[in-house]
């Protein structure tokens, strides 16, 4: 997976290489599906995104728990004020 910026950079490098060497074919930097560095980079990216998502979910859960606690307290206070409890 190559980003747009990386693709543009590689294209510019290939154009410069063609100008210098006269070779029309660019050098092959694709190592194939067994490229461990690429797999590590992908896994690290996924790991950071998953951690960010988990933190977001955790914050939402804590906020919802606080809202529920506040609503429960409000309901209890409402019953106490009416004299039902």
pLDDT at 50 over 60: yes
DSSP annotation string for 25-78? SPP-----TT-HHHHHHHHHHHHHHHHHHHHHHHHHHHHHHHHHHHHHHHHHHH
**Within a domain: residue 23?**
no
Structure confidence at residue 9 (pLDDT) = 81
Residue 74 counted as domain residue: yes
Residue 4 lies in a domain: no
Number of domains in the chain: 1
Mean pLDDT of 31-60: 89
Is the confidence at residue 22, as pLDDT, over 80?
no
Query: Is residue 11 included in any domain, yes or no?
Result: no
Residue 10 covered by a domain: no
Could you list the residue range(s) of the whole structural domain that residue 42 is in?
35-85
Q: How far is CA 12 from the centre of its chain?
A: 28
26 has pLDDT over 70: no
């Amino acid at each position: 997976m190559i980003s747009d910026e990386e693709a543009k950079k590689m294209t510019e490098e290939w154009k410069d290489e063609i100008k210098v060497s006269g070779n029309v074919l660019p050098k092959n930097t694709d190592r194939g599906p067994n490229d461990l560095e690429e797999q590590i980079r992908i896994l690290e990216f996924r790991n950071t995104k998953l951690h960010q998502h988990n933190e977001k979910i955790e914050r939402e859960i804590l906020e919802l728990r606080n809202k529920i606690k506040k609503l429960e307290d409000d309901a209890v206070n409402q019953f106490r004020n009416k004299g039902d409890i």
